[in-house]
Amino acid sequence: MEHKTVIILGIESATSQVGCAIGGHEGVLASVHSSRGKRHAENLTPQIEFVLEQARVSMDEISVVAVDVGPGLYTGLRVGIATAVSVAFGLGVPMIGVTSLDLLAYPVRYCSKLIVATIDARRGEVFHANYRQVPGGVQRVSEPTVSTPDDLAADLLAHGDEALLVGDGALRYSETFAGLRGVDAAEPNIAYPSADSIVQLAHAKALREEFVTPTELEPVYLRKPDAVEIENQKRKLS
């Protein structure tokens, strides 16, 4: 990839917001985001076509497909990954997976506090991970996990550091975190992972040639999908 311009298509669908972006060494050339509930499949194809047209890039110029690999909402995650894999297979190009929590932390990379990225996992839980500012970005300092908002609040109290909460998990359970000393919430306009951030983070990985093939791409689920969990509960009761 050293001898040609890297053009990255980024696909984001891990939460209720769906987005696509395209860019490379010049930054993000075009992006689009929308919130349509569970209708991820209906949005992604026209969004891909839109960003290609806006950036004046043809499909066969794409050299890398990057996608949010979770954690996130199961159905949306599956749709986004399936779409990204299909595009990569069709073009014969490599892929880069980026976690949704990394994407949330990236826009607040200039914050000197402990950054806590949170995603509403539904069923009274949040996906979360901690980050610290490093030169040029952020570094994850805890593995992505799932817990109740109360447990996360207790961890923050025990930690004692000043912290910045970012993501829709922090928004949904804002009352749980509101009284914590030294804990602030980021702006609501950056509460969802961004396809722009996928392109920016993936570009750095592309320069280091941190690629995977479509068959090697690993989603980060952290929890059984709700439908499977509900079915298991039914079996236990029957």
Do 91 and 134 belong together in one domain?
A: no
Do 89 and 135 belong together in one domain?
A: no
Do 179 and 106 belong together in one domain?
A: yes
Do 48 and 94 belong together in one domain?
A: yes
- 234 lies in some domain: no
Enumerate residues 6+ apart whose C-beta is below 8 A from 18.
12, 33, 34, 35, 36, 40, 43, 44, 47, 76, 80
Do 207 and 174 belong together in one domain?
A: no
Do 115 and 178 belong together in one domain?
A: yes
Do 133 and 56 belong together in one domain?
A: no
Distance CA 148, CA 190 (A): 22
Distance CA 48, CA 31 (A): 9
- 58 lies in some domain: yes
pLDDT band at 159 (very low <50, low <70, confident <90, very high): confident
For the chain, give the percent of residues with pLDDT over 90.
79
- Residue corresponding to tokens 């026209």: 46
**pLDDT at residue 223, as a whole number:** 81
| Whether pLDDT at 71 is above 60 | yes
Do 211 and 181 belong together in one domain?
A: no
| Whether pLDDT at 5 is above 90 | no
Number of structural domains, the chain? 2
Do 209 and 92 belong together in one domain?
A: yes
Angstrom CA distances, 111 to 32, 61, 140, 209, stand at 26, 36, 14, 28
Q: Lowest-confidence range among 30-44, 53-67, 99-113?
A: 30-44
Distance CA 54, CA 47 (A): 10
Do 74 and 122 belong together in one domain?
A: no
- 64 lies in some domain: yes
User: What beta strand segments (E) does 114-155 contain?
Assistant: 114-122, 125-134, 137-140, 145-147
In terms of pLDDT, which residue wins out, 43 or 99?
A: 99
pLDDT digits (tens, 9 = 90+) for 79-120: 999 999 999 999 999 999 999 999 999 999 999 999 999 999
- 236 lies in some domain: no
Phi, psi of 19 (to 5 degrees): -155, 155
Enumerate residues 6+ apart whose C-beta is below 8 A from 2.
none
Query: The domain spanning residue 118 has which CATH number?
Result: 3.30.420.40
**pLDDT at residue 224, as a whole number:** 72
Mean pLDDT of 33-61: 85
pLDDT band at 125 (very low <50, low <70, confident <90, very high): very high
| Whether pLDDT at 38 is above 60 | no
Contact present, 201 and 68 (Cβ < 8 Å)? no
Q: Which of 98, 105, 71 is CA-nearest to residue 203?
A: 98
| Whether pLDDT at 4 is above 70 | no
Residue 131 belongs to domain spanning: 101-190
* Sequence letter at residue 213: T
Give me the chain's average pLDDT, please.
90
Do 78 and 22 belong together in one domain?
A: yes
**pLDDT at residue 1, as a whole number:** 42
pLDDT digits (tens, 9 = 90+) for 182-236: 999 999 999 999 999 999 999 999 999 999 999 999 999 888 765 555 455 446 5
Enumerate residues 6+ apart whose C-beta is below 8 A from 229.
223
Strand, coil or helix: what is 65?
A: strand
Do 151 and 39 belong together in one domain?
A: no
